[in-house]
Amino acid sequence: MTLNLHAIRAIYVFEMARTFRTLLQSIVSPVISTSLYFVVFGAAIGSRIQEVDGVSYGAFIIPGLIMLSLLTESVMNASFGIYMPKYSGTIYEILSAPISGLETVIGYVGAAATKSMMLGILILVTARFFVDYEIQHPFWMAAFLVLTAISFSMFGFVLGIWADSFERLQVVPMLIVMPLTFLGGSFYSITMLPPFWQTVTLFNPVVYLVSGFRWSFYGSSDVGIELSIAAILAFLALCSAAIWWIFRTGYRLKV
């Protein structure tokens, strides 16, 4: 099957242009917010917790902060990107055009993933101004960054199709994704918790993403790296199946 590259490029360029039109909201604001996390957590809590797993606390939270921004921004960018055509009615122009579902997904998800990866890299660069850190496994760091951005952008795409109001569009990122990320070991090691809560935390899927991403930096993790890789690939497959079903059935598209 030959992909319609012109259609993919048109969707991708349009979505990226929307980001640069709202640069302060899309890029600058999340970077400033993350910098405040470094100041508050690094200075206030870091003065009481010197090291975690042999790493200074300020450096320890870097992967967690990047993952926090990556997850929330990927979901919100992708969901808003596909919801707005539904809201304005221009989705019917896309559905009637000679564009396949795969090409539509590549355009929207590709743009959302690009935005969140840009943000993750900017946070990584900004972190250097606050604390020294190292990346022991740069290939796996990049792999986790790309896979997480793509899979959660696909999840956001599904959310944007499902949502029928701006309130529903925001409820999942704000009330589910963000709390799971905070409770997923972004700012602490789960080994610091009592045994019962360690077991409970392992049912949080974000733990495996944060743990694997942190392993790529410092070589230490709360769960095995194999489990982290399996978790992100399983989530990617689940989101792919959901999107395939949406275009196969026309769920909330052809109404």
| Domain that includes residue 39, residue range | 5-249
pLDDT at 1 over 80: no
Q: What is the distance between the alpha carbons of residues 212 and 65, in angstroms, rounded to a whole number?
A: 14
The verdict on residue 255 lying in a domain is no
What's the pLDDT at 7? 92
| Residue 32 structure tokens | 């400033």
Per-residue pLDDT of 82-96, as tens digits, reads 999 988 888 888 888
Q: Whole-model pTM?
A: 0.92
Evaluate the CA torsion angle 10, 153, 75, 90 in order and state its sign. positive
Residue 159 lies in a domain: yes
What is the enclosing helix (H) or strand (E) of 95? helix 91-96
Q: Is the pLDDT of residue 255 over 60?
A: no
Count of domains observed in the chain: 1
Residue 18 lies in a domain: yes
Residue 44: the pLDDT is 67
Those residues with Cβ within 8 angstroms of residue 201's Cβ, 6 or more apart along the chain or in another chain: 183, 184, 185, 190, 193, 207
Distance CA 131, CA 13 (A): 35
Residue 58's pLDDT is 84
Which of the two residues, 252 and 148, has the higher pLDDT score?
Answer: 148
Dist CA 233 CA 245 (whole Å): 18
Residue 254 lies in a domain: no
Q: pLDDT of 89-116, one tens digit each?
A: 888 888 888 899 999 999 999 999 999 9
Q: Is residue 229 part of a domain?
A: yes
Residue 252 pLDDT: 87
- pLDDT at residue 3, as a whole number: 86
Inform me whether the pLDDT recorded for 117 exceeds 80.
yes
φ, ψ (nearest 5 deg) of residue 249: -100, -15
- pLDDT tens for each residue of 11-69: 999 999 988 877 777 777 787 887 787 777 766 666 677 778 888 888 898 999 999 88
Give the pLDDT confidence of 136-164 residue by residue, as tens digits: 999 999 999 999 999 999 999 999 999 98
- pLDDT tens, residue by residue, 120-138: 998 999 888 888 888 999 9
pLDDT tens per residue across span 173-208: 888 888 898 888 888 889 888 999 899 999 999 999
Nearest-5° Cα angle at 74, 70 to 79:
160
